Amino acid sequence: MRIAFITPEFVTEPSYSGGLANYLGRVTVALAEQGHEVHVFTRSTENAQLEFQGVTVHRIVPLWDRRMILDHIDPLIPKVLYNPYQDFKAAWCLWRRWLHIHQTAQFDIVQAANVMSVGLFFRWERRIPVVTRMSSYRPFWDAAAGISPTAGVKFRWLMERLAVTGTRHLYAPTHFVAGQVQKGYSIPEVKVIETPFFLEQPTSDTSIFEQYAGQPYLLFFGRMTQMKGVHILAEALPEVLKQFDEMRVFLIGGGGHSPDGKPMADYVRDKLKEFGDRTTILNSMRHDKLYPFIQNAKVVVLPSLIDNLPNTCLEAMGLGKVIVATTGSCFEQVIENHVSGILVRPGDAAALADGICRAWQLEEQAHTEMQEQAQQSIAKLHPTRSIPQLVEYYQSVIDSEK
């Protein structure tokens, strides 16, 4: 099968940090290893084509044309509409590059991400099947992240709605997201196909970790946003740190805005100023530098208000970590409370603090058993089991359009 993936980010790009890029980095390689011809079309800072572990990657700069004549209108676009305009331009450029390659490659199926409406121009494609994988229902996600619904944000919602509702085949990795999409877009059915996962074995780089090695620590990693519940974590931690003098806290990831409009990192530092010598905040880093922090954490905390079976959860469980996460969205699909992790109510700082304390105080045997259960739970997502389900879905879509 020849498969094209349309995405705003991929692991080949120096600035990537999102779960979408990590997911695609795994699923495309797994498909290639099983004999499929896989092409990725991604937004980039340069036009180029390269090979990544058996996957052909088409890197595309969002420019209207090589002479950049039309791009001279960029400065004329109102600031509030600049981001949706850039999304529109990127979607057009990704579609045009795919169209050019399709003339000779003849793809069997296209999978587009819903993120940034990259599949917008595929809504009119009728020669081959197009599926959209729903990472989120954007209005709910933006609200949870504390993003103000400006005219530009609403325009992005509209573009995504047009891209999604113009696609005949949709699927999501969790029942939670599928339900949101069905309700939000009035779509009768969104299929659920869980995210294939295998633990990467990057070349380990401990250069950053070695600067901080020492006391046992609690770890949060991922995007430091309100949607990920980082502000709730900041409210919960003072009481926890008072109880455990030996505990250090690490937060690693790109920043967002806190409820008071400050950068989230500043908000956390302010809430934990009494424990500044035991709190470390680091920028996002690639897996070779990040994995040592995950591997050596005593407990990983993922206090999301809303989420979509994030790579942070899969990676931490794959590395056998005890996780404290939240109920109500996605974590229940892989975590059984008090068996393979600890689940607490989202948005509740007291409940989160209690969950962290319970995880931190687990007896050694109970801690080990929970780690083992986490790894066993995540094993069901290994590509040898999950990729055939995805391929079967692709084939059913292809057959339905013959």
Q: Which residue in this structure is represented by tokens 């991929």? A: 10
More confident position, 165 or 386: 165
How many structural domains are present in the chain? Answer: 2
Asked whether residue 350 is domain-assigned, the answer is yes
Residue 202 lies in a domain: no
Mean pLDDT of 32-39: 96
The span from the CA of 304 to the CA of 293, in Å, is 20
Task: Considering only residues 384 and 274, tell me which one the structure prediction assigns the higher pLDDT.
Answer: 274
Predicted confidence (pLDDT) at residue 382 exceeds the cutoff of 90: no
Nearest 10 degrees: Cα torsion 190, 194, 200, 206: 80
Count other Cβ atoms within 10 Å, centred on residue 100.
Answer: 11
DSSP, collapsed to helix, strand or coil, labels residue 41 as: strand
Burial of 44 (0-12, 13-18, 19+ CB in 10 A): buried
Host domain of residue 117: 2-196+382-400
248 vs 105 pLDDT, higher one: 248
Please give the average per-residue pLDDT across 337-342, as a whole number. Answer: 97
| Residues 169 and 240 both lie in one domain | no
- 148 part of a folded domain: yes
Note whether 51 and 187 are same-domain residues. Answer: yes
**Mean pLDDT, the chain, whole residue set:** 93
- Do 179 and 318 fall into the same domain? no
Same domain, 252 and 395: no
Work out the pLDDT band at 287, boundaries 50, 70, 90. Answer: confident
Are residues 387 and 301 both part of a single domain? no
Rounded to a whole number, what is the largest CA-CA distance in the chain?
A: 66
pLDDT over 70 for what percent of the chain?
A: 99
Q: What is the mean pLDDT of residues 21-28?
A: 92
101 in a structural domain: yes
Residues 137-153 have pLDDT tens digits of 999 989 988 889 999 99
Same domain membership, residue 293 and residue 394: no
- Are residues 55 and 180 both part of a single domain? yes
Whether residues 277 and 267 fall in one domain: yes
155 and 14 part of one domain: yes
The pLDDT of residue 202 is 67
- Distance separating alpha carbons of residues 173 and 195, to the nearest angstrom: 6
The answer to whether position 204 is within a domain reads: no
pLDDT in tens, 176-185: 999 999 999 9
* 136 and 61 share one domain: yes
- For residues 56-71, average pLDDT: 87
- Which CATH number characterizes residue 362's domain? 3.40.50.2000
Average pLDDT over residues 120-127: 93
Please report whether residue 36 resides in a domain.
yes
pTM metric for this prediction: 0.86
Please check whether residues 372 and 275 belong to one and the same domain: yes
How many Å separate Cα 165 from the centre of its chain?
Answer: 22
Q: How confident is the model at residue 186 (pLDDT cuts 50, 70, 90)?
A: very high
Determine, yes or no, domain membership for 201: no
Same domain, 175 and 221: no
Q: How confident is the model at residue 174 (pLDDT cuts 50, 70, 90)?
A: very high
